[in-house]
């Protein structure tokens, strides 16, 4: 957009320079040509009046001498022709030969017609200026005086003038660019801040932080008002998003106590319900357990979306702690839990990020890997990031499901009846994003699923 505005402003300056410069150059050329025409017409008329007696008395010696001196001084050839068009006197030997335009002017002069002005002579038109005036004796035409003048001086003057005009136009364009650049920057500054601020505002809204305003009261009034409106909208969206997140956290927290009480009451009824209602009793306990798991997931997601300061993380401590915590369940499920990769790595992220991510990812890995399989936790360094990858040997996901697997409450169609809330990978992805990292899901060769948490290296 800036380039387009600059081109438009330069185009306007160029048209203005052309609108002023071209008429000025043409007027200057016409004035120079008119001066040459007038001077040579006066000379031609003078020699036409001077040639009357020599032609009448048939003595042209003095006239020829005068014409030669004139030619030597001004460089213009002069011819005196009789009424048949033959040269009687010439300032040069041999006498110049007239072109078609010169012959037409001689014909007009013999008909007592005055010399007509030339159209504008352009710099590349090297034809001479030919003027013809009749030699009159009383009212009778005795001959014609023709002057043949070079237009080189006029054309050189035109070229100089046009060059000056072109240089002035280029200078005007350069000045136009110099003036247009700050103007374009001033106009586009609010637009650029809006463009740059959109990403920051989106990140701040997701993080629950107050977004930095994009308006700095610069630029045109219309764009300043647009920036101010954008800041108000971002503030309102942030407040609405924070209120929604607070509601989820509060509702989940408030529902936990009555749900726990309900689960206890249902457990206390064990052995006291009729045999006909035993199946419904077990189903009620399972539903209560599922609802409790869902509330735990919502609470974990609400915590994961809170804005917390980033701290250095000892990756080994978090990995070892979670491996010890999940190892009994893995062994109970007939799985082998393996630790691989270099140790001593440190990353940056929210406090407890490694444990949160591993809990969510290992839960899925242990849940979906059949007995006899292996779950491998591998740490590595990739550039400026530390990777914590969990590879299982389960069924994995379809390639088109990888992008949706981190959506909230998303469940694979083939695992819809599996226990879980569908929030684990969403919590892990959100936790990594808050740390400035990225959660990647890959389908490694040999099957299974590989989940990679990439956090900035401390």
- DSSP letters, 26-50, are HHHHHHHHHHHHHHHHHHHHHHHHH
Predicted local distance difference test score (pLDDT) of residue 308 = 67
- The alpha-helical segments, DSSP class H, found in 269-314 are 278-304
Please, where in the chain does CATH 3.30.450.20 lie? Answer: 1-157
Q: Can the peptide bond before residue 94 be classed as cis, meaning omega within 30 degrees of 0?
A: yes
Strand-strand pairing, 374-382 and 385-391: antiparallel
DSSP at 404: T
Predicted local distance difference test score (pLDDT) of residue 307 = 63
Predicted local distance difference test score (pLDDT) of residue 306 = 66
Strands (E) in 117-177, as ranges, are: 129-137, 140-149
The Cα 373–Cα 232 span in angstroms is 54
Closest CA to 102 of 47, 94, 110: 110
| Sheet containing strand 450-456, strands side by side | 336-340, 374-382, 385-391, 450-456, 438-442
The Cα 143–Cα 84 span in angstroms is 8
Q: What value, to the nearest 5°, has the Cα angle with vertex 133 and ends 131 and 134? A: 155
The Cα 304–Cα 206 span in angstroms is 11
Contact 19, 111 (CB under 8 A): no
Predicted local distance difference test score (pLDDT) of residue 207 = 65
Neighbouring residues of 24: CB distance < 8 A, sequence distance ≥ 6:
165
Please, where in the chain does CATH 1.10.287 lie? Answer: 208-307
Predicted local distance difference test score (pLDDT) of residue 2 = 67
Q: Domain 208-307 classified CATH 1.10.287?
A: yes
Classified by CATH at the fold level, domain 310-456 comes out as Heat Shock Protein 90 (3.30.565)
Please, where in the chain does CATH 3.30.565.10 lie? Answer: 310-456
Contact 301, 248 (CB under 8 A): yes
Neighbouring residues of 92: CB distance < 8 A, sequence distance ≥ 6:
68, 71, 77
The Cα 32–Cα 259 span in angstroms is 104
Q: What value, to the nearest 5°, has the Cα angle with vertex 386 and ends 382 and 388? A: 110
Widest CA span of the chain, in angstroms? 159
Closest CA to 434 of 314, 306, 300: 306
- The alpha-helical segments, DSSP class H, found in 51-85 are 52-57, 61-74
Q: What value, to the nearest 5°, has the Cα angle with vertex 448 and ends 442 and 449? A: 30
Q: pLDDT tens string for the chain (458 positions)?
A: 767 777 787 788 888 888 888 888 888 888 988 999 999 999 999 988 888 888 777 777 888 888 899 999 988 899 999 888 888 888 888 888 888 888 899 999 888 888 888 888 888 888 899 999 998 887 788 889 999 998 888 899 889 988 998 898 888 888 888 888 888 888 888 888 888 887 777 777 766 667 778 887 888 888 888 888 888 888 888 888 778 777 777 777 777 788 888 888 888 887 788 888 888 888 888 888 878 877 777 777 777 666 667 889 999 999 999 999 999 999 999 999 999 999 999 999 888 889 989 998 999 899 889 999 999 999 999 999 999 999 999 888 888 888 888 888 887 777 766 677 778 888 888 888 888 899 999 999 888 999 999 999 98
The Cα 161–Cα 141 span in angstroms is 42
Phi-psi region of 85 (alpha: psi -120 to 50; beta: other; left: phi over 0): left
152-207 vs 221-268: helix crossing angle, rounded to 10: 20
DSSP at 120: P
Buried b (16+ CB within 10 A) or exposed e, 413-444: eebeeeebbbbbbbbbbbbbbbbebebbbeee
Buried b (16+ CB within 10 A) or exposed e, 244-265: ebeeebeebeebbeebeebbee
Classified by CATH at the fold level, domain 1-157 comes out as Beta-Lactamase (3.30.450)
353-368 vs 424-434: helix crossing angle, rounded to 10: 150
Contact 456, 384 (CB under 8 A): yes
Q: What are phi and psi of 453, to 5 degrees?
A: -100, 120
């Amino acid at each position: 957009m800036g380039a387009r505005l600059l081109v438009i402003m330069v185009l306007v300056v160029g048209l203005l320079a052309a609108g002023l410069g071209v008429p000025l150059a043409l007027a200057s050329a016409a004035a120079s040509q008119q001066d040459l025409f007038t001077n040579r017409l006066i000379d031609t008329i003078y020699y036409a009046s001077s040639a009357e007696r020599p032609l009448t008395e048939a003595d042209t010696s003095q006239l020829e001498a005068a014409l030669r001196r004139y030619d030597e001084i001004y460089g213009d050839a002069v011819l005196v022709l009789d009424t048949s068009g033959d040269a009687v006197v010439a300032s040069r030997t041999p006498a110049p030969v007239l072109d078609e335009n010169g012959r037409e002017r001689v014909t007009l002069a013999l008909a007592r017609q005055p010399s007509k002005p030339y159209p504008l002579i352009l710099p590349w038109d090297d034809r001479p200026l030919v003027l013809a005036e009749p030699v009159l004796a009383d009212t009778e035409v005795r001959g014609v005086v023709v002057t043949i003048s070079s237009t080189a001086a006029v054309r050189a003057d035109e070229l100089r003038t046009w060059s000056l005009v072109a240089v002035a136009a280029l200078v005007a364009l350069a000045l136009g660019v110099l003036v247009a650049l700050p103007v374009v920057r001033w106009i586009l500054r609010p637009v650029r801040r809006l463009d740059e601020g959109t990403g920051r505002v989106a990140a701040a809204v997701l993080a629950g932080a107050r977004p930095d305003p994009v308006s700095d009261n610069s630029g045109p009034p219309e764009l300043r008002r647009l920036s101010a409106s954008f800041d108000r909208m971002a503030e309102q969206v942030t407040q609405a998003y924070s209120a929604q997140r607070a509601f989820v956290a509060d509702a989940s927290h408030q529902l936990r106590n009555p749900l726990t009480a309900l689960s206890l009451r249902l457990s206390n009824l064990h052995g006291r319900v009729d045999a006909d209602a035993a199946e419904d009793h077990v189903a009620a306990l399972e539903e209560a357990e599922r609802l409790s798991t869902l509330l735990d997931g919502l609470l974990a997601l609400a915590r994961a979306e809170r804005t917390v300061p980033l701290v250095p993380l000892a990756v080994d401590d978090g990995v070892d702690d979670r491996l010890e915590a999940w190892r009994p369940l893995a062994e109970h499920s007939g799985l082998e839990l393996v630790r691989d990769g270099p140790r001593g790595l440190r990353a940056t992220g929210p406090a407890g990020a490694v444990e949160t991510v591993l809990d969510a990812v290992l839960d899925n890995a242990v849940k979906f890997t059949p007995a006899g399989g292996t779950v491998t936790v591998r740490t590595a360094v990739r550039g400026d990031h530390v990777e914590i990858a969990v590879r299982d040997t389960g069924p994995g996901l379809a390639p088109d499901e990888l992008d949706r697997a981190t959506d909230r409450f998303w469940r694979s169609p083939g695992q819809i009846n599996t226990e879980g809330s569908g929030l684990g990978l969403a919590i892990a992805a959100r936790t990594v994003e808050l740390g400035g990292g990225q959660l990647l899901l890959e389908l490694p060769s040999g099957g299974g699923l590989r989940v990679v948490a990439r956090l900035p290296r401390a």
